[in-house]
Amino acid sequence: MTPTVPSAASAEIAGQALAADAPFFIVMNAGSGRRQADATREVLERELGAAGRRFQLRVVDDPRRLASVARETAAAACAQDGVLVGAGGDGTLCTVAHAAYDAGCPFAVLPRGTFNYFSRDHGIPADLEQSTRLLLDARAYPVQAGFVNGRMFLVNASLGLYPRLLEDREIYKRQFGRSRLVALWSALLTMLKPHRHLRLHIEHDGSTTEIRSSTLFVGNNRLQMEQIGMPDEAQALEQGLLVAIAPRPVGRLMHLWLSLHGAAGRLSDSDHVVSFTFERITVTHPSKKRKSVKIATDGEIAKLRMPLEFRVSDQPLLLLKPEPTVAEANRS
C-alpha cells in the first residue's frame, strides 16, 4: 500500500482515515524479555481479536535482524493495505519507522521502552491496552523525521560525549536492570569521567562555523526540548526545523551543572550552551584523518563516515495517533 501523502496543513486538521479492515503487522524487539513479548501477544489477541481485526506479530530475538525483519514486514503491510507497527523503545520504533517510511505505508506505535519520548510527544498512551485500542480508530498524521547520512532519527541524534553516555548506560542496565533511575545514575558517573572536546566545522546556510564542544546534540522531539527548558527550540520543531545544541568547552563539574540545569528545565538560561535551528547542516572535522565517528540515533549507536549531513526528512512519516487536541492532552 502506497498512501497518498496529504499536505501537512490539511492532514493536521483531519488526518488520513484507514480502511476499516486494515490489518496490523507488528514488529517487536524481544530484548526486554520473552515475558514482555508474551504479555504483548495476549493483549493483541484480546483487543484486536475482539474487534475482528487481523494482525501478525513478529518477535525479533536477535537485534541484528531487526532492520531486515522490519523491511520484510513493511513489504507485507504494503501488499495487504495494512499498517506497520513498532513495539518497543525509541530505538526499536525508529528502526521500524524507517522501514515504514521507505515502503510508504502508515506507521503505528506500541510503547514498550523506558522513556518513550516519541510516543509521549504524539499523545500515544504508554499503557499497552490503551495504545492497542488506539490502533482501531486512529487516523494517520504526517510527522517529521530527521536523517543523518541516511540514518533516520525520530527523537535525537548526537556525537561526542552523548554516545559514550549511552554505551555506559547499557552496561549499567545489564547489571542493574532497565529503569530511569539506573539511566540517570549512569549518566552522572559518565559525566564525571575525563572527556575530550571535539573540534567541528558546521556548514549552515552558506557559512561555516567552528565549534569546540564535548558533544553535538540534534533534537527532533518537542517534549524533550520542553523538558530541558528550551521552549523556543521546541516550537521550531513544529515549523519543520531541527535543533542543534552544543555545550561550550567546560570542565566536568560545569558539565554536571549544565545537566542539572537541563533536568530542572532551565538549560536555556545558561550562557555555556550554543543552540540554533536548521533544515540541513554538514558537519566536518578539521583533521582529514578523521574518517568516521560514533553517532547515537534514538539510543542506537553506529559508526558513520564523515562528513555528516543532518537534515529534515523530505517527506513526512505517516503516524497513527490521536487527534491533535487529544494528543496534547495526553502528553506528559
Omega of the bond leading into 307 within 30 degrees of 0 (cis):
yes
Cell 503487522 belongs to: 25
pLDDT for 26: 98
Cβ atoms < 10 Å from Cβ of 291 = 10
User: Residue 313: left if φ>0, alpha if ψ -120 to 50, beta else—which one?
Assistant: beta
Alpha-carbon torsion 170, 35, 120, 29, what sign? positive
Q: What is the dihedral of CA 251, 253, 255, 257, to 10 degrees?
A: -140
Euclidean distance between CA atoms 190 and 278, whole angstroms: 29
User: What cell was used for 228?
Assistant: 530541558
Domains plus CATH for the chain? Answer: 8-145+315-330 (3.40.50.10330), 155-312 (2.60.200.40)
| Bridge-based pairing state of the strands 242-247 and 273-278 | antiparallel
- Tell me the whole-structure pTM to 2 decimals: 0.85
Cα Rg for the chain, rounded, in angstroms?
A: 20
SS3 assignment for the chain:
CCCCCCCHHHHHHHCECCCCCCCEEEEEEHHHCHHHHHHHHHHHHHHHHHCCCCEEEEEECCHHHHHHHHHHHHHHHHHCCCEEEEEECHHHHHHHHHHHHHHCCCEEEEECCCCCHHHHHCCCCCCHHHHHHHHHHCEEEEECCEEECCEEECCEEEEEHHHHHHHHHHHHHHHHCCCHHHHHHHHHHHHCCCCCCEEEEEEECCEEEEEEECEEEEECCHHHHHHCCCHHHHHHHCCCCEEEEEECCCCHHHHHHHHHHHHCCCHHHCCCEEEEEECEEEEECCCCCCCEEEEEECCEEEEEECCEEEEECCCCEEEEECCHHHHHHHCC
Query: Treating both helix axes as pointing N-terminal to C-terminal, what angle do 252-263 and 180-191 enclose, rounded to 10 degrees?
Result: 150
pLDDT for 247: 84
Euclidean distance between CA atoms 242 and 227, whole angstroms: 16
Average confidence (pLDDT) per 10 residues, the chain, 332 residues: 41 74 95 78 94 95 94 98 96 97 97 91 96 95 97 96 71 66 65 74 94 92 92 94 86 50 52 88 81 91 94 96 71 56
pLDDT for 11: 42
- Give the type of residue at 325: T
Query: Of the candidates 306, 295, 302, which has an alpha carbon nearest to the alpha carbon of residue 216?
Result: 295
User: What cell was used for 280?
Assistant: 540541513
Euclidean distance between CA atoms 162 and 191, whole angstroms: 9
| Bridge-based pairing state of the strands 55-60 and 24-29 | parallel
